[in-house]
Amino acid sequence: MSRTLDADLSLIPPIAETIRWLAADAIQAANSGHPGLPMGCADLAAVLLARHLIVDPDDPKWSNRDRFILSAGHGSALLYSMLTLNGFITLDDLKQFRQFGSKTPGHPEIGDTPGVDFTTGPLGAGFAASVGFALAERMLSEMYFTPKFPELFDHYTYVLLGDGCQQEGISQEAASLAGHLRLGHLIAIYDSNGIQLDGATSQSFTEDVKLRYEANHWHVQEIDGHDHAAIDAALVAAKADPRPSLIVAKTVIGKGSPHKQGTHKTHGMPIGAEEIAAGKKLANWPAEPFYLPPAVAEFFAKHKDSLRALRAEWNREFAEYADKHPAPAKEYQRVVSGELPLNWKQARPEFPADEKGEGGRVSGAKVLAAFGEAIPELVGGSADLVESTKTEITKGKWTEFVAPGEYLGRNIHFGVREHAMGQICNGIAAHGGLIPFCSTFFVFSDYLRPAVRLAALSKLRTLFIFTHDSIYVGEDGPTHEPVEQLAALRCIPNVNVFRPADANEAAYAFQYALARTDGPTVFALSRQNLPALDRNNLADARNALRGGYILEKDPEGLAEIFLIASGSELHLALAVAETLRAAGRKVRVVSMPSLELFKQQPESYRRTVLPQTNTKRRRCVIEAGVIDGWEGILDDNGLFIGMNSFGLSGKPEVVAKHFGFTVDSVLDKLAEAGF
Which DSSP string corresponds to 160-201? EE-HHHHHSHHHHHHHHHHHHHT-TTEEEEEEE-SEETTEEG
The β-bridge partners of 412 are: 381
Query: Which residues are CB-contacts of 183 (< 8 A; sequence separation ≥ 6)?
Result: 131, 134, 135, 138, 244
Query: Which residues are CB-contacts of 411 (< 8 A; sequence separation ≥ 6)?
Result: 379, 380, 381, 386, 392, 393, 399, 400, 401, 402
In contact, 304 and 85? CB cutoff 8 Å: no
Buried b / exposed e across 302-332, counting CB within 10 Å, b at 16+?
ebbeebeebbeebeeebeebeeeeeebbebb
Distance CA 660, CA 569 (A): 11
In contact, 35 and 270? CB cutoff 8 Å: yes
266: phi then psi, degrees, rounded to nearest 5: -95, -5
CB neighbours of residue 663 within 10 Å: 16
C-alpha distances out from residue 318 to 206, 328, 402, Å: 48, 11, 26
Of 54, 37, 69, the closest CA to residue 188 belongs to: 69
Before 57, cis peptide (omega within 30)? no
Query: Which residues are CB-contacts of 298 (< 8 A; sequence separation ≥ 6)?
Result: none
Write the single-letter amino acid at 421. M
Distance CA 156, CA 176 (A): 19
C-alpha distances out from residue 197 to 128, 163, 263, 264, 476, Å: 22, 10, 9, 6, 42
Read off the DSSP letter of residue 584: T
Q: Between vectors from CA 370 to CA 519 and to CA 384, what angle results, nearest 5°? A: 70
Distance CA 210, CA 47 (A): 22
Read off the DSSP letter of residue 649: -
Distance CA 522, CA 489 (A): 8
109 is a catalytic site residue: no
Q: Which of 17, 109, 168, 418 is catalytic?
A: 418
Query: Which residues are CB-contacts of 203 (< 8 A; sequence separation ≥ 6)?
Result: none
Secondary structure element (H or E) that encloses residue 437, with its range: strand 435-441
Catalytic site positions? 418
